[in-house]
Homo-oligomer: A and B are copies of this chain.
């Protein structure tokens, strides 16, 4: 196969692949009649890497092979793709947060007992990353599990002065009738 054609073919293959492709995998795209050997392939990959040197994307060799990706320098711009869509937290996360907020200090086992299902580590991690919950201490029981509580940031986020301002638990009994007439400013 002619050099220029091999380059374009590799572009088409690499750009449309879902996963990184190793040079071994790339080799399998070609039949003997195409007359593409490994040396040609590697040389062309190097050529492609150079060619995209001054562009917004790069041909990067990662663990499992080569892939095109956006350059680090343009992260600011490509981050704007997603900013249009705000992620939503799962019900599991909201319930966990609610239990921590209302029942603090509480352990993971207690949350699980209340919810009736396992609390994934991801949820705790997300809540901690968000700095909404923190470990208040450890319970003096076997395993010394962490006791979680909410943080100042949690109060700030929900525009609460203190935990006392959380909607009353007793309101929950008639929550359907009450219709959530919270006199709280909802900020974002």
A interface residues, Cβ below 8 angstroms from B: 4, 7-13, 15-18, 29, 54-57, 68, 70-71, 74, 77-78, 80-81
Contact = CB atoms under 8 A, between A and B. Distances in A.
This chain: copies in complex: 2
Nearest to A30: B77
A45 to B, nearest CB: 13
A13 B81 CA distance: 8
A15 B56 contact: yes
Given A13-B78, A15-B70, 7 more contacts: A8-B55, A10-B56, A11-B56, A12-B70, A12-B74, A16-B81, A17-B81
Contacts of A10: 56
B12 A68 contact: no
Contact of A12 (B4, B29, B77): B77
A90 to B, nearest CB: 22
B11 A57 contact: yes
